[in-house]
């Protein structure tokens, strides 16, 4: 079979150039781009404003295929986890989370993770490779298509890069994805609705600040360098003082606040002493502290603090005037909570949700 260009890897400008190289007018690229993004088309046959003869021609040159969803699980609250098989057989996970008036999608940027944070299941499965632009965007297309086929009226409004992997370690592809997602001619996500979570790669953060400043979530998880080094190996390379400088200088999208993610782990970092240290570290900075109670897993040797400890920690920070929220754990029953996503093997897949397969059959009718 002849090689076909994977069209989902490209920006609008690149798609225009590909069309003109085939002797077609550039506006055909605009039409295709909108079908791929806004209308989440799966095939050229869905693109009804393009002549059928051209659609057949395009099929010979371009590949619109998506990775296969090989498992789907939903909990009682509507949180849905997708297990997606890539071309090389690797399986990644993404999570669709219902909010009051919209959905948030947590996407992965790597197969596994190389950073080995002690509290995170993803790192225990090891690191395989970066995801391509198309593989990252495919997670968005799959989620939007899923909502569309279900007849869901609430929009997918937020994309958070908090799934498998360290987004900034896949910097080049991440930035291209962010630009495609923001493009008003396509997906049209607001920049403040695109959140990049990072363990704190200082060089890449400085580059992102210049190239594509967006909503930022910094995984801190400890109020001092010694404890942070015990939990996060990256802390041996970058100190908290360096991260504080990033917080001070990183451009804020529409004067928003940088989110400080702080995982509360029983008897590790959850005492009022650590709360006081955290306050002293962050006071006066344009931040919002998001407390995340640890989601237990048999493979991780930590426990969740009691509700009393969690609320005492939050109350202390609030009493000091720090904007502090408590993340509600969603998807824990289906291992879709924070830190629970991981590389999976085909034999580990559970019985898929039959609703998805009904939707898949309807989607295949277009092809």
Each of the 367 residues of the chain gets a pLDDT tens digit; together they read 458 999 999 999 999 999 999 999 999 999 999 999 999 999 999 999 999 999 999 999 999 999 989 888 888 888 999 999 999 999 999 999 999 999 999 999 999 999 999 998 888 878 999 999 999 999 999 999 999 888 888 999 999 999 999 999 999 999 999 999 999 999 999 999 999 999 999 999 999 999 999 999 999 999 999 999 999 999 999 999 999 999 999 999 888 999 999 999 999 999 999 999 999 999 999 999 999 999 888 888 999 999 999 999 999 999 999 999 998 765 445 444 454 444 455 455 544 444 454 444 344 433 3
Radius of gyration of the chain (CA): 21
Q: Which CATH number fits domain 5-65: 1.10.3720.10, 1.10.150.530, 2.60.120.460, 4.10.140.10?
A: 1.10.150.530
pLDDT of 330 reads 55
End-to-end CA distance of the chain: 19
Distance CA 234, CA 237 (A): 5
Q: Are the beta carbons of 266 and 302 closer than 8 angstroms?
A: yes
Please say if 93 is a catalytic residue: yes
Region of residue 78 (left: phi > 0; alpha: psi -120 to 50; beta: else)? left
| Domain 68-348: CATH superfamily, name plus number | Aldolase class I (3.20.20.70)
Q: Where are the domains of the chain?
A: 5-65, 68-348
Q: What angle do CA 263, 220, 268 make, to 5 degrees?
A: 45
> Which of 106, 113, 120, 338 does the annotation list as catalytic?
338
Distance CA 303, CA 297 (A): 9
Question: Cα dist. 53→36, 48, 57, 89 in Å?
Answer: 19, 11, 6, 34
pLDDT of 71 reads 86
pLDDT of 350 reads 47
> Which of 90, 93, 261, 274 does the annotation list as catalytic?
93
- Two structure tokens written together for 148: 């569309």
Distance CA 243, CA 265 (A): 22
Q: Are the beta carbons of 270 and 310 closer than 8 angstroms?
A: yes
């Amino acid at each position: 079979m002849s090689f076909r260009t994977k069209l989902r890897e490209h920006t609008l400008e690149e798609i225009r150039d590909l069309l003109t190289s085939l002797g077609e007018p550039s506006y055909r690229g605009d039409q295709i781009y909108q079908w791929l993004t806004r209308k989440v088309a799966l095939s050229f046959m869905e693109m009804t404003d393009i002549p059928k003869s051209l659609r057949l021609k395009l099929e010979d040159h371009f590949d619109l295929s998506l990775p296969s969803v090989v498992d789907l699980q939903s909990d009682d609250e509507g949180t849905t986890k997708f297990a997606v098989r890539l071309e090389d057989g690797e399986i990644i996970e993404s999570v669709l989370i219902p909010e009051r008036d919209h959905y948030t999608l947590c996407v992965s940027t790597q197969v596994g993770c190389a950073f080995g944070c002690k509290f995170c299941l993803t790192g225990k499965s090891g690191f395989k490779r970066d995801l391509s632009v198309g593989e990252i965007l495919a997670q968005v297309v799959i989620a939007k298509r899923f909502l569309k086929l279900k007849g869901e009226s609430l929009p997918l409004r937020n994309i958070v890069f908090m799934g498998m992997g360290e987004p900034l370690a896949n910097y080049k592809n991440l930035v291209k994805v962010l630009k495609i997602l923001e493009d008003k001619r396509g997906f049209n996500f607001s920049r403040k609705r695109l959140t990049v979570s990072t363990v704190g790669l200082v060089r890449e953060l400085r580059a992102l600040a210049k190239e594509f400043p967006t909503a930022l979530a910094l995984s801190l998880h400890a109020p001092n360098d010694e404890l942070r080094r015990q939990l996060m190996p990256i802390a041996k390379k970058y100190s908290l003082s360096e991260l504080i400088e990033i917080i001070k200088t990183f451009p804020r999208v529409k004067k928003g606040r940088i989110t400080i993610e702080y995982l509360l782990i029983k008897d590790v970092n959850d005492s009022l002493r650590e709360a006081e240290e955290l306050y002293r570290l962050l006071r006066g900075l344009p931040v919002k502290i998001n407390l995340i109670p640890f989601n237990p897993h048999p493979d991780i040797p930590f426990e969740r603090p009691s509700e009393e400890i969690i609320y005492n920690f939050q109350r202390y920070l609030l009493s000091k005037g720090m904007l502090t929220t408590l993340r509600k754990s969603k998807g824990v029953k289906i291992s879709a909570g924070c830190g629970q996503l991981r590389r999976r093997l085909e034999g580990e897949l559970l019985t898929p949700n039959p609703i998805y397969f009904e939707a898949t059959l309807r989607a295949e009718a277009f092809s």
